Structure 1
Amino acid sequence: MSRVLALGLVVGLLAGCSQADQALKNVFGFGSNAELAAAEKMPPAEMPVYAPEDTYVYQVGDNLIEEKVVSVSPDRVVWTNDRGLIWTVGRDIVTPPLSWSANAELGRGRQAVIGSPAQLFPLQTGNTVSFGIRGSSENLPKGWQDTQVCEVGPQELITVAAGSFRTYKIICQREDHIDIIYYAPEIQNYALRVRRHEAEEQRKELVAVRLNEMPATAAPKGQQVEMKAARKPTDLTASKLPPTGPEQPASTDAVKKPAASQPAVSEMEVLAKRVAGLAARIDKIEKHVAGKAAEAAAKPAPSVADPKGKYGVHLASYRSERGAKRGWKVLQAKYKAELEDKQLVVRSFNSGGGKGTYQRLIAGYFGSRKLAAEFCRKMKLKRQYCLPVRARP
């Protein structure tokens, strides 16, 4: 029987370590989250323990992404998402993907870790770990190498769409980006991940989580695991919400234990019943949405080609123009009705990080970005990567 913790809305190699260490120090002031007072701090956290069917829903930009555990071994976790992707990672949160089934830029690939990221655990402020990464993929067969340095910062109380969580702030530096990970032992995963590239920042924020029955070792000894209800104004927990949006830190009062005279057990029972009711409602909605998606997927995307249009849809990436042309023939055979009136557009781009130049396979043309986005919506129901782009000036 699964237990619902939160329901919200319905995702040399070691050269340069000194520069990475300095970069980590520069980002420890990120955000306005509240650092936990001594009395509220958690004991050192062990590595997360996952179970098949553990499910997390994240918001990335305007998109909701559902991620689910497929299988678990002592040091590996296999995940999938509602886009049909499958990937394998370590249990330690900071290990990058060890293998993945598809990627718009890299294609299918794998990475090897040189070192032991798990040495970061048990988590406590000041812990650091450094390890090397070597990888290759079908679109980059010559491969790449990198170094990752991670450091555990202060414990912070953060508020996201799914609620307020006590977290360990972990900063991980690689050559082309920095990850700020807010790991919440209560949910055995991060409640928020901020990825900073040189020119942009991406937030991946927890919206909902559902955990299967967990082993007794899932939470460190002495650590309280609470049930959280959906954060809506009409909910029982509404009075604990901060007055502003999710990025505003919640008061540390939100995690204080109730006074002895308060009926804490009774309140938790009420919360449990409310959460169970919400879970049943969401299950019903998910089944309805899945049925509608299947119906839509069975229908070909409407023809909206416009020879004079300026927009296209990015469907795949290759290392060479020749590869892109071969890929176009494969896609035409697979999506004959959708692509019969489209034309191939190939555009070069450099993804940065030393990975070199790729050729984007773009299907054109569309009269507006909105039409391209609608086409992509239908293609994604068929598990095809699709992104609206400007195809010509």
Structure 2
Amino acid sequence: MNIFNSFDQNQMYVINAIKYVCINHNIKAYIVGGAVRDSILGENIKDIDICINENPKVVIDDLSNMQKYEYYQQFQTSTIKFNNGITIDLIRCRKETYERDGTLPEIEPSNIEDDLYRRDFTINSLAYDIVNNRIIDLYNGIKDLKNKQLKKIHINSYMEDPTRVFRGIRYSTRYGFELYDKEEIQECIKSKIIQSISFDRIIKELDSMCREKKWIENFILCNQLGLLELDNKYLGIKSQLESYDNINLRILSVFYALKNDKYIDVFISNSFLDKDLKKSMKYYYFTRDKMIDLLMKPMDNYEMYQILKSLDLYGLILCGWNNKVSYKVINYFYNLKDIRLDSDGRFLNSLGISSGRNMGKILKNILKLKLNMGIKDDKKYLLCNLGEITKCL
């Protein structure tokens, strides 16, 4: 089977460069995982992983046309970017063992057979031997691709690494494959094995789901399996402040759709997500009732401005998803948010107003007028109405 029809010229150049170095050093080399899977499916190849039965540094030291590379001695893995723009992950074949379910595995160098066994699903356990030009399919991955079935490789797969539950949902949705192990996955979820992995690992998988074209379908399936308890109508809920091309907005939508507090800490207490996004989610979660109650009261533009000015874009989006106050948030975002006074203390000094409480009151009043009455030139307004303004202090 020729898998290279889906690879472009630049990708083939890099693969052949690695192949020739491996041949010269008598090293076995295999394209593994997603690149083989997607080539068989006729998909465009995005990520290329190559496994070798030697330390990658041996190959790197003999490669030319590299732009840069990163090498990790502990795991004997590397990421290489070539001058033609192609990036390859070059890693040593390895074996993984789990001391207990949910923990990160212990890793040791090994062969391609062990490396394929450690993988999550049969369709991702395919390898192509680039030295001998043959495909390796130890677990009937090609058959499962043809039958559109997503299957685990070995017993206890989901328990030993619960992140496979998230990836199973993602691949099943992406390719429209049957989730063959659905009942087993549901049992794993009921056993609360997900709680054995860190917030960072969970949120990283949720982030990957959000980056998929069918991201909403991913979370609907999460809901069906009992992994997340969500209100589906809030997934992809319309926002007039930002586009869903922004992955953070997708994450925000999932957060907003949560129906219980079980996953709140996962979203606000990890080290993976953007810190401003987490800050907004946390602030909204702990103040939303008070914030919405305040916004539902009759108010002028100035009062609205004072309530909403402390929120960043993500906080405004969260508030704006509440139908009862959304029009106020939209009004603030498009009409009020960027309004600033041209007048300042120095300008008031030039008009004979000394520093102190009166100066603050004048600036507050002129801001009210600018927000509520639409005054364009507050300096000109002050010059024309200073006497009347100071009488009201």
Give the TM-score normalised by the residue count of structure 2: 0.25
Structure ranking higher on relative contact order (CA contacts 8 Å, 6+ apart): 1
- The structure having more radius of gyration, on CA atoms, is 2
Q: Which structure's residues are more often helix, by fraction?
A: 2
Normalization by structure 1: what TM-score?
0.25
